A and B are shown apart, each in its own frame.
Chain A
Amino acid sequence: MSSNTDFLLAVEDLTVSFDGFKAINGLNFYMDEKELRVVIGPNGAGKTTLLDLICGKTKPTEGSIKFRGKELTKLPEHRIVWEGVGRKFQTPSIYDSLTVRENLEVSYPRGRGVWGAVAFKRDEALREKTHEIASVVLLAEALETEAGLLSHGQKQWLEIGMLLMQDPALLMLDEPIAGMSARERELTAELLNRLAGKHSIIVIEHDMNFVKQIGRKVTVLHQGTILAEGDMETVQSDRRVIDVYLGH
């Protein structure tokens, strides 16, 4: 507990109770700069809730979340984003009525105040950034497409692209490959491996093959607490993990 400022993210004694049901229960969770961490666990383990707490969607009952030494639990959602935390939701959350380009532009971290948005002008830097990110998430050809018309997998990529526009220090991806074809999964794994050196990333995933492709350090959540943590082999051979999660 002494120098948790060295961590990018330090979650300590975190508890959230929904009408007495503790979805997260005394959780401690630490992450280094530029780390890629996979969080797995059975349905209802509290994975999504953990991300909700970090990004401010849910306020904890107890405990602290420090990001680069700064307490996040007291900040409103948009300020947590300003600190450098980006969140992808479990169901793709994009703006169906806007084009891919507009989706990306809206996520660009300039003109975030009302007046800033009214006065906002597209410039060369934005155009370049939009292009760059669109290619990273394999949507360069689809820039002028209405986002609602994209395939499910492409929507997932678009949302990742929207996060990348913000250039966040920490990317939190909730089941990014849900609904993707095998090919799309492969491409996503490549994408995450490429991003890994540049951002810290938390990925929540169920698909163990996918986890193996990107997995470095894995955290297993169960009933709101950490059951095991370590590299893939350690976790896979852990008795309790096999019992509650991998056994089937």
Chain B
Amino acid sequence: MNAKLDFLDGRNGLVSLLVLAALILIVFPLAMGVDQLNLTGRFLSFSFVAVGLVLCWGYGGILSLGQGIFFGIGGYCMAMFLKLEASTPEATAIQTTPGIPDFMDWNRLTELPWFWVPFHSLTFTLLAILVLPAAFAYLMGIAMFKRRVSGVYFAIITQALVVILTILLVAQQGFTGGANGITDLRTLKGWSINTDEALVTLYFITAVLLLAVIVLGKWLLHTKFGRILIAMRDREDRVRFSGYDVANFKAFAFCIAATFSAIGGAMFTLQEGFMSPSLIGIIPSIEFVIFAAVGGRLSLIGAVYGALAIGFLRIAFAEAYPQLWLFLMGTVFIVVVLFLPMAWPGSTRNMRLGRAAC
């Protein structure tokens, strides 16, 4: 096999990647109607977060219960751009201040806040989706990892930050759309995002981006950086006393996971047509971890199956028994975090090797 493709973990790795590609690029689109495909596309956007968690939690041992923050940054950035495009002076002529998003007008803002202004530009928005989460994760990471905050403490702090973020989003209605979020998103550079055709196109973009992110993740794990991630999880002190600044490595893994999550968030906004605080709070943040865990924690591809499986199960089950579903998810969470600290029993060898099971 071509040495350049070695990082896909040989034949098996390539096959499982192709199986996933065939499933999401061919089988789903053929078998599903537009609504269902759109739903699946949203599950795929969640799996970006799960893939990031496999890197930083599964391999690096950094459990974040706050990935909603980054999913939210991506989602809100995209929503801000779309909202500005939807808020032309003509479309908002009946407002007191035409040309600003409707919720701002309702909250008696008379001017677009400064931090909204650059989101008129699509280029800026796309850059922000990639850079903002990484920058934020870097700051969070350095602040905590340099102080040797890790394990449960790190998880709890990330959880607290999610809570703070959602509270802020809800409270600052005039700037953020509050609890309703940013709604009524219509076009992207004039291209309507609500038509059947657009939904199918967006689905395909999501699927291709997801595959790209997985390949990038696999490549990263294959580098020396990947081995150091595993080494840190095994024995952090040994890594430190081999001359590495452990905090930087952890922060980097966390940044990668953050950027992946934000891409997912942006694709989610495009497919869902809105973004709101309830989509990024504590419960979604915990669910992301469950997706990664169900997928085996050490498998980038497994994370996608985890997100899809839980997503479809929820549709089948949660509508009928919403309370029970919540308990079930809670139980699954506790079981996977406490009792399955590594991966599915069948993949123990891969787990020991620290290599992706598929």
Contacts and interface: CB of A to CB of B under 8 A. Distances in A.
A138 B283 CA distance: 52
A111 B224 contact: yes
A118 B234 contact: no
B224 A118 contact: yes
A107 B291 CA distance: 34
A77 interface: yes
A95 B233 CA distance: 9
Given A95-B234, A97-B352, A77 B241 contact: yes
A215 to B, nearest CB: 26
B237 A97 contact: no
Given A98-B227, A117-B224, A117-B249, A77 B240 contact: yes
A114 B352 contact: no
Interface string A134-162: 00000000000010100000000001001
Interface residues of B, number: 28
A95 B230 contact: yes
A82 B227 contact: no
What is the size category of the interface that chain A forms with chain B? 20 to 34
A48 to B, nearest CB: 13
B223 A120 contact: yes
A25 B228 CA distance: 37
A114 B252 contact: yes
Contacts of A102: 227
Contact of B245 (A76, A95, A162): A76
Given A95-B238, A97-B233, A97-B353, 13 more contacts: A81-B242, A87-B241, A89-B237, A94-B235, A95-B230, A97-B351, A97-B352, A98-B227, A98-B230, A98-B354, A106-B242, A117-B224, A159-B238
The 9 A-B residue pairs whose C-beta atoms are closest, nearest first, are A81-B243, A120-B224, A97-B354, A117-B225, A93-B238, A95-B234, A117-B224, A95-B231, A114-B252
Interface of B: 220, 223-225, 227-228, 230-231, 233-235, 237-246, 248-249, 252, 351-354
